[in-house]
Structure 1
Amino acid sequence: MDIDLSALHLLRPYWLLLWIPAAALPWAWRRRNDLKRQLQGTIAPHLVEHLIITPQEQPRLRPVYLLAALLSIGALAAAGPTWQRDIPAFVDNRAPLILALDLSPSMDADDVPPSRLQAAKHTLHDLVMRRAGARTALIAYAGSAHLVLPATQDPQLLDTFLQALSTNLIAQTGKDVLGVIEVAKRLLAAEQVPGTLVLLTDGADASQFAAIPAALKGSDLQVMVLAVGSGNAGVLRDAQGRARIASDGRPVQADFDEDALRKLASASNGPLGSLTLNDDDLDWIELHAQRHFQAAQGDPQQVQWKDAGYWLCWPLALIALLCLRRGWKVHWLAVAGLAVVLGAQPQSARAGPVADAFFTPDQQGRWAFEHGHYPQAAEHFTDPFWKGLAAYNAADYDLALASLGRLDSAQANFYRGNIYVRQFKFAQAITAYQQALKQQAVFPEATANLALAQALLKDYEDQQQAGTPDEKADKVVEDQTPSQGAKQKQQVTPQAASDQVWLNNLTTSPAQFLQRKFLLQDASRGTAEGNR
């Protein structure tokens, strides 16, 4: 562990005032036990030195010295010595990251095994999981740009749609980076914080380079380009891994346009990297995204430092053990020592008579929760919120809903909404998030997830309007209204199972969902352009 002495300081320096009583205690003890001082006024001073017989004792450790050491080291530990900044594992959770994946046919080339697209998806999977709890959005693009998911903190949901992406989802060919930037700017405006857009692509459209600087002007959006491919031409393959054959009988190859990628990075004034299929990619994104966020924030108060005072707990524990000596009147330290021993035995806190004797079920559940044993935590907890939260993290959504359903709080409704989104029950999720916001007006996570659920519900409604292959014809019911004579009305009553069929299709095949969504978006854009 390297210590930067130039950055060494204390987080809570006022605790060092305890050094005053720590130094005064030995002095007061020696003064109190000074026999010469006790005999002053009783025996003449010139006789005291001749009448006192001082026994020859070997210097030995006294309780007061250990108490002074406990106070001194404890005060230093409480003061919070630190020399290292507390930099989060990734960009601050408030800083959104927008991932844009190129779905052009050239991404099926196999120069990066198994293909450029699969390699990019593998990297994004690791990135999404590494950013668990941070806000991440996903965009897919080729000749047109499409929002797959708004910024969300749910890595599993994001990865579900990420793995469904393929080059046959977008009909229009090309590489519409300008469209990606416009979608990313709208996302960033909703987040109201600076963010980073990461483009994973193997080329760029040269006709857009001149317009990119103007599109980024005045925005807090940083653009990073991660090149996917190699200098060697790759063979295009289909979904079954078979090489695509041209009319002349040769395999179809896709070039890697390195020059265009450099010009793209230059036009967007962002860094250019190359896909390496290891953690270097994640570290590279982390470094630049974090620097951009901190520079855009421009707030030195955001800097946090790691508190290293806990390292002093070990010498404190050793001194406490030395206090357990025969004849010393500090027997209460035995209780503290026993507590330390019990606290140092995490296995005994899981279950069993020893744990039951010293810890409540909620305390055992909290220990399991903090150590990532969520199923065991859900079994131990009796508190409905913590039981529901542990079950939520354990993906036991039925138990989580049953536990959280007993509560009517903002946090409980927020997690219920998260569960409904995972189950693709968007209407119920929206109701839960709205209830959470009624109970707690300032709730950024609920506000963001409400927008996500509303966007997904809109996609569902668009599909309902466009029709799905599994929907049956609507049933027409004639309604005679006596007050209006013989006028007849037609009421459209969809099949009750229609919603469930759609949800089942969405759950088992998000690729079909995305393909329909992209087609609807392209159609709406074409209609809007035709009306201009």
Structure 2
Amino acid sequence: MTDLAAFHFLRPLWLLLILPGALLPLLWLRRHDLMRQLGGSIAPHLMASLVITPTHERSLQPIHLLAALLILGALAAAGPTWQQDTPSFLDNRAPLILAVDLSASMDADDVPPTRLAAIRHKLHDLILRRAGTKTALIAYAGSAHLVLPATEDPALLDSFVQVLATDLMPRPGKDVLGVIDEAHKLLAAERSPGTLVLLTDGADPSQFDAIGKRLSGNQLQVLVLAVGSQDGTLIRDAKGQPLIGPDGRPVLGSFDEAGLKGLAKAADAPLGSLTLNDDDLDWIELHAQQHFQAAQGDDQQIHWKDAGYWLCWPLALLALCCVRRGWQVHWLGGALLALLLTAAPTRVQANPFVDAFFTQAQQGRWAFEHGHYPAAAAHFSDPYWKGVSAYLAADYDLAEASLARLDTANAYFYLGNSYVKRFKFSEAILAYQQALKKQPKFPEASANLALAQALLKDHEAQQEAGPPDEKADKTVEDNTSSKGGKAEQQQTPQASSDELWLKNLNTSPAQFLKRKFLLQDAASLTAEEPSP
């Protein structure tokens, strides 16, 4: 039912057209009133006998249809609405910060195949359903490290999630305070409220008192997602050997229920657990969106559903009645239709009907928003949107040709991404550096610059080492005699050095993260040491 209290018009000035729509029939009747026109020439008592009126006078006149068109058109253009619209725009979805515990206990296999592997699989599903929404990634154990700042690229984020391992962390422990500090830095850069999801199997009770103080304010919400079971499980290392603790006894990966409850209480956070279905993902997104909308408060823009388009159907019927013989100059519509059909288009298009109503930029925008990136690149003439569409469509030649014409931070950023996809790391580094010159606070460009530099070093190291020993894949005998000599033999290698390097490239993100975490941890320890 319509909520009359909420009923209003989005564009009320259009309602002024109702006034001429209501006055036109009255003015027309006044003008065509014979009694009034002849009142000054014929005596009133003779008027009824001298004036002859048609017996079957048509009551509905063209002026009435015109008035109805004006009134209905005014109502439709004014945008009647009574229902709020919660948009599905990606910009209105809550930013998320994923913090993955990489302590040794995450290698327990009570959640098959391991706790960490289950988290990687779960985050893969979460990233896919949040494609295009800003999501950041933090890894922590004895120290917390930013893996990737808030990004809208699901492929890039998932590539780092899948290489997370417990051996990447320089120190053991569960430093949730460090995670909160990193999350605050991310939200300060984004200038937006967000939600921090801790995926862990335990907590450090010594940090509980300080956690509440670090979470002052309403910008950051914490969710705790528990991973593991309550039964003690022997933890094994990557080689399958039991992990021995400092006391010399095997480490059991028991579910730290008391620690997780204490962490949730200290952070005033909801406590959930990993599930086999998508209930945990729904739980995360529900809490994140509720916090996002509540934190925005009065600044949140309210969208209303425009119901004016429903009046287009009666408007179309009225317009159809207007083409009846005798109601207007009926050949005008035919002339306009013939003009549209016979006019030579500026360029050949696949759908002339769509071209008649939408510009190329509008068609490109529609294709882009619906994921049809090749079509979007074909329609866009703006070099930035054409380049971004071509990049997302994996047409890197067109992307580089379009983006290279621009001198903006975003253009250099996507240009660098295109170079990385084609393994042009030197060009990518220059592009990211140009992006940072244009926009110094550009966390995505900073992260991709560090990654490109690490990949370049790995590539140069492998090039210096040379390709590994290659065995002949097959022996090809040339049976064609050459001046009576013996048949020549030709060996083809199994793979070229570039192909071998591409196969080994998959390990680079993990090596990059391990080196990065080690350097950051060493720098933090040096900063904590008291000066002599």
Pick aligned residue for 1:449 from 440, 444, 449: 444
> What residue in structure 1 maps to residue 473 of structure 2?
none
1:334 to 1:415, Cα distance in 2 relative to 1, 3 A:
farther
Q: Deviations over 1:330-375 (max 9, x none)?
A: 545568889999xxxxxxx972787789988777656644553221
With normalisation by structure 1, the TM-score equals 0.75
Counterparts of 1:453-472 in structure 2, within 5 Å, are 453-456=448-451, 470=462, 472=464
3-state SS of the aligned residue for 2:514? helix
1:387 aligns with 2:386: yes
> What code does the residue aligned with 1:378 have?
A
> What residue in structure 1 maps to residue 164 of structure 2?
165
1:43 to 1:383, Cα distance in 2 relative to 1, 3 A:
same
Give, in whole Å, the separation in 2 of the partners of 1:45 and 1:73: 40
Deviation at 1:267, TM superposition (A): 0.3
> What code does the residue aligned with 2:374 have?
P
1:300 to 1:51, Cα distance in 2 relative to 1, 3 A:
farther
3-state SS of the aligned residue for 1:324? coil
Report if the CA contact (8 A) 1:404-1:416 is conserved. Answer: yes
1:94 to 1:329, Cα distance in 2 relative to 1, 3 A:
same
> What residue in structure 1 maps to residue 175 of structure 2?
176
> What code does the residue aligned with 2:53 have?
T
Give, in whole Å, the separation in 2 of the partners of 1:136 and 1:174: 25
> What code does the residue aligned with 2:444 have?
N
> What code does the residue aligned with 2:165 have?
S
1:205 to 1:396, Cα distance in 2 relative to 1, 3 A:
same
> What code does the residue aligned with 1:518 have?
F
Report if the CA contact (8 A) 2:226-2:271 is conserved. Answer: yes
1:38 to 1:299, Cα distance in 2 relative to 1, 3 A:
same
Q: How many residues in Structure 1 have an aligned counterpart in Structure 2? A: 489
Give, in whole Å, the separation in 2 of the partners of 1:12 and 1:359: 23
Give, in whole Å, the separation in 1 of the partners of 2:366 and 2:291: 37
327-336 vs 267-276, which moves further: 327-336
Counterparts of 1:514-529 in structure 2, within 5 Å, are 514-529=513-528
Give, in whole Å, the separation in 2 of the partners of 1:378 and 1:66: 45
1:68 to 1:382, Cα distance in 2 relative to 1, 3 A:
same
Report if the CA contact (8 A) 1:96-1:191 is conserved. Answer: no
> What code does the residue aligned with 1:181 have?
I
Report if the CA contact (8 A) 1:213-1:267 is conserved. Answer: yes
3-state SS of the aligned residue for 2:287? helix
1:75 to 1:520, Cα distance in 2 relative to 1, 3 A:
same
3-state SS of the aligned residue for 2:209? coil
Deviation at 1:400, TM superposition (A): 0.6
Q: Deviations over 1:19-73 (max 9, x none)?
A: 1112112222333333323332232222222333433438665433332232222
Report if the CA contact (8 A) 1:506-1:513 is conserved. Answer: no
> What residue in structure 2 maps to residue 309 of structure 1?
308
Q: Deviations over 1:462-495 (max 9, x none)?
A: x78xx9974749xxxxxxxxxxxxxxxxxxxxxx
Q: Deviations over 1:91-149 (max 9, x none)?
A: 84696421111233444455555554344334433433444443321001233322111
Give, in whole Å, the separation in 2 of the partners of 1:237 and 1:37: 105
Give, in whole Å, the separation in 2 of the partners of 1:4 and 1:336: 43
Report if the CA contact (8 A) 1:119-1:277 is conserved. Answer: no
> What residue in structure 2 maps to residue 22 of structure 1?
21
Counterparts of 1:39-438 in structure 2, within 5 Å, are 39-57=38-56, 61-89=60-88, 92=91, 96-109=95-108, 112=111, 115-170=114-169, 172-217=171-216, 220-229=219-228, 254-276=253-275, 278-300=277-299, 302-329=301-328, 331=330, 332=332, 351=350, 368-369=367-368, 371-381=370-380, 384-408=383-407, 412-420=411-419, 428=427, 431-432=430-431, 435=434
Counterparts of 1:486-525 in structure 2, within 5 Å, are 509-525=508-524
Give, in whole Å, the separation in 1 of the partners of 2:252 and 2:369: 51
> What code does the residue aligned with 1:71 have?
L
Give, in whole Å, the separation in 2 of the partners of 1:232 and 1:314: 65
Report if the CA contact (8 A) 2:349-2:355 is conserved. Answer: no
Percent of paired sites with the same residue? 64
Deviation at 1:224, TM superposition (A): 1.5
Q: Deviations over 1:188-216 (max 9, x none)?
A: 23333332211122322223222211222
1:352 to 1:268, Cα distance in 2 relative to 1, 3 A:
closer
Give, in whole Å, the separation in 1 of the partners of 2:516 and 2:385: 38
Unaligned residue ranges in structure 1 (runs of 5+): 342-348, 474-499
> What code does the residue aligned with 2:197 have?
V
